[in-house]
Structure 1
Amino acid sequence: MEQWKKNLAVLWIGQFLVMGGMTMIMPFMSLYLQSPRIGMTNEHEIATWAGIIFAGNFVTSFLFQPLWGKLSDKYGRKMMLLRSGFGMAVVMVLMGFATSPWHLLLLRMVNGTISGFNPAAVSLVSITTPKPKMGFAMGTLQSGGIAGTIMGPFLGGLLADAVGYRPIFYLTGVSLFAASTLAYFVVKETFDRSAAAAKPQLSVIAGFRQLSGVPQLMALFAVTFLLQFAMIGPNPLMPLYVQKLHGTSVNLAFWAGFVSSAAGITNMVAAPLLGRLSDRIGQERVLGISLVGAALLFIPQAFAGTVWQLLLFRLLQGCFLGGLIPSVNALVRRFTPDGMEGRAFSLNTSMLALGNMIGPIVGGLISGWTGIGGVFLISAVLFLVNALWVRQTLVSRQARKPDAV
């Protein structure tokens, strides 16, 4: 097997385990706070702490990703990958020993600080994959993360009932350690540290200024932010929307979970296929079509009359969403000056974390004024505006990759 295929296969497993591990603990976080060892009892305090603990990871991730991106360009992507993987494995095990909500919050913030497996994996795959296979590789890698995101909550719920809450943290830590160890022995990267060290060492801010001068990258970062913003924003409200459409409490939790994960299911299937298609017809074209298609499918979700209609629209939308992140990652690689790939992908991950933070807050505020239907409609408008921006910067200008620095 060619080395780039080995890298892709191992990092797919890593993406699956990392995203699965991160989402596995979320279904029972509020219940974990009520466990005897932590012992919280006030329902309002539990809900407040659960939200703060969930957000803590994204706050520090948003702040520290650019730093890891700089170090990635200086010392290599594989080193940053292993730093993140082994570090998160230790943090996840320590969460199993927490005795107060403050412990969990601190550890979640530490986890966000040292995270970076995803941008390092994407950057590493982008560097080692032949250009004609870039779309396929990015789509395949994306499917691993989506699969983990879908399966994580499901497996977390099953394991919580079977073995309790604390062992899940230990199992997740062991899984992350195993994935990082596999990457250590199998993943290969050609990286010349002496050449990287000889280049001018820009600060994080100076690096951001240089990348922000590339209009194509700004448009692509906006796609990443809006994707998370639009998909995460309605999620906390989805059970209420499903309850309104379902009209009964029978199997309500099942339907709420199914509807919430529906777009992820088709996204996982479509991502490698659209990635392969983008290698033939161009990532810009697939990205533009996917943005418009996803935007249009937000609209009927706002006016769905039954759960089945909502489910159908979410499934169809996932097909278009599968063309977004792989195309963005491939285009980020194309338009990033040589030697700054780590910074670019880390900034892209910061935009993802920002969407995770702001989406639920803004979604809740908008729904208070317009109902959840308004959240879908505003997301549609934002996606269409972004599609025009992408067309202007990537397609109309027929932009070329900037000169290497």
Structure 2
Amino acid sequence: MEQWKKNLIVLWFGQFLVMGGMTMIIPFLTLYLQFELGLSDPHEIGVWAGFIFAGNFVTAFIFQPIWGKLADRYGRKMMLLRSGFGMAIVMVMMGFATSPWHLLLLRMLNGTISGFNPASISLISATTPKERMGFAMGTIQSGAMAGTILGPLMGGLLADAVGYRPIFYITGALLFAASLLALFIVKESFDLAKAATRVQASVLDGLKRISRIPQLMSLYGVTFLIQFAMMSPMTLIPLFVQELHGSLENIAFLAGFVGSVTGISNMIASPLLGKLSDRIGAEKILAVSLIGAALAFIPQALADSVFMLLLARFGLGLFLGGLIPAVNSLIRVYTPDGMESRAYSFNSSTMSLGNMIGPITGGALSGYIGIQGLFVMSAVLMLLNGVWVWFSLLSKRSAGRGTAS
């Protein structure tokens, strides 16, 4: 097997476990605070749960660009292993937390040392043949998205089967195993001497340089909107499912299924659309997927049954499967040489920002516009972003080709 394929397989599992580990605490976090850490007041539990869940993304948003700079200097594999083994240790420590403060600080530490995602994507982009880039990006994204969506479902199932604390130990062990596989199987060709001769701009200077490239800023906007649109209604979906179902029977299973079905279709579509982008261009896949995702939010707002909501969420996942892989492929195209890891780390920070702001905004607006209004808002934002992509990517690319010819 070619080395780039070995890298892709190992890092797919790594992405799945990392993103699943970050999100699998969602279903039982409030229960963990109540039954294991001694909280009893419902309001206090809600406040702590919000801070603890967001803490990971706050520090990840801040530190991702720093790790990206170091990856461009010392290699992606080194940053990947640092993050993988570090998060495995922190995840196990969460199982020993004895107060909400311990859990909050550990979640923030986890976000601080995270960086497995951008390091994996950067390494794949550097080791994959250009003609297979779309397929590779689609495949690696399917692992990350599947972990993000299926993580809560796995967490809920494990909580019922083994209890709360053992979940952290199991997740840490799996992360450690994935990091060991990466240590022995994943390889990259990185010239340390050549990297040392490059002038390494500071994080702020790197951001200024990247911000002057309008195509990259457009792609970061797409990343933010994807996460914002996905996460803003996420915490309200169980209540919406209960409203549509009309009873409490099997409500937990149905809510988990509705939340996970998007990840299932995304996992199916990402490699296929990535492969198609190798043939027709990532810009076209990105534009069509944005419009399709926008349209897929409309039937969610109009759903009058759980089955209709399931179908709409499944359709949304098909189009989302073409967004992140196309974004990652195009980031590589528009990024200056020697700044690849930093460009992907800024994109990861943007993703963390969407994960952080989405639920907060959704909760704040839900009292005024309801979850149906959130679906419509996401549709409008996706369409506007599609227009932005058209003018900042597709039209300029077409103009460039016309001038060349």
CA positional deviation for 1:33: 1.3
Give the distance between the partners of 1:324 and 1:347, measured in 2 at CA: 17
CA positional deviation for 1:269: 0.4
Which residue identity is paired with 1:279?
D
Q: 2:225, 2:354 within 8 Å by CA — same for their partners in 1?
A: yes
Give the distance between the partners of 2:25 and 2:63, measured in 1 at CA: 23
Q: 2:41 — aligned with what?
A: 42
Residue 245 in structure 1 maps to residue 215 in structure 2:
no
Q: 2:149, 2:259 within 8 Å by CA — same for their partners in 1?
A: no
CA positional deviation for 1:148: 2.2
Secondary structure of 1:189's counterpart equals coil
Query: Percentage identity across aligned positions?
Result: 67
Give the distance between the partners of 2:193 and 2:312, measured in 1 at CA: 52
Give the distance between the partners of 1:141 and 1:269, measured in 2 at CA: 12
Residue 3 in structure 1 maps to residue 3 in structure 2:
yes
Which residue identity is paired with 2:27?
P
Q: 1:23 — aligned with what?
A: 23
CA positional deviation for 1:156: 2.2
Q: 1:82 — aligned with what?
A: 81
Give the distance between the partners of 2:161 and 2:263, measured in 1 at CA: 26
Give the distance between the partners of 2:17 and 2:48, measured in 1 at CA: 26
Q: 1:348 — aligned with what?
A: 347
Tell me the alpha carbon deviations over residues 182-207 of structure 1, each in whole angstroms, 9 at most, x when there is no partner: 10111111111111111112010000
Unpaired stretches in structure 1, ≥5 consecutive residues: none
Q: 2:199 — aligned with what?
A: 200
Secondary structure of 1:397's counterpart equals helix
Secondary structure of 2:337's counterpart equals coil
CA positional deviation for 1:146: 2.4
CA positional deviation for 1:40: 1.5
Q: 1:305 — aligned with what?
A: 304
Give the distance between the partners of 1:79 and 1:199, measured in 2 at CA: 18
Give the distance between the partners of 2:308 and 2:157, measured in 1 at CA: 28
The Cα RMSD (Å) is 1.4
Q: 1:13 — aligned with what?
A: 13
Which residue identity is paired with 2:15?
Q
Secondary structure of 2:27's counterpart equals helix
Of the structure 1 ranges 245-254 and 291-300, higher mean CA displacement relative to structure 2 is found in 245-254
Q: 1:278 — aligned with what?
A: 277
Give the distance between the partners of 1:155 and 1:142, measured in 2 at CA: 19
Give the distance between the partners of 2:298 and 2:394, measured in 1 at CA: 26
Q: 2:262 — aligned with what?
A: 263
Which residue identity is paired with 1:9?
I
Q: 2:154 — aligned with what?
A: 155
CA positional deviation for 1:355: 0.4
Q: 2:219 — aligned with what?
A: 220
Give the distance between the partners of 1:347 and 1:157, measured in 2 at CA: 31
Give the distance between the partners of 2:284 and 2:313, measured in 1 at CA: 22
Of the structure 1 ranges 25-34 and 143-152, higher mean CA displacement relative to structure 2 is found in 143-152
CA positional deviation for 1:209: 0.6
Give the distance between the partners of 1:261 and 1:319, measured in 2 at CA: 13
Q: 2:245, 2:306 within 8 Å by CA — same for their partners in 1?
A: yes
**TM-score with structure 1 setting the length:** 0.96
**TM-score with structure 2 setting the length:** 0.96
Q: 2:149, 2:262 within 8 Å by CA — same for their partners in 1?
A: no
Give the distance between the partners of 1:234 and 1:152, measured in 2 at CA: 17
Secondary structure of 2:35's counterpart equals coil
CA positional deviation for 1:245: 1.7
Q: 2:146, 2:266 within 8 Å by CA — same for their partners in 1?
A: no
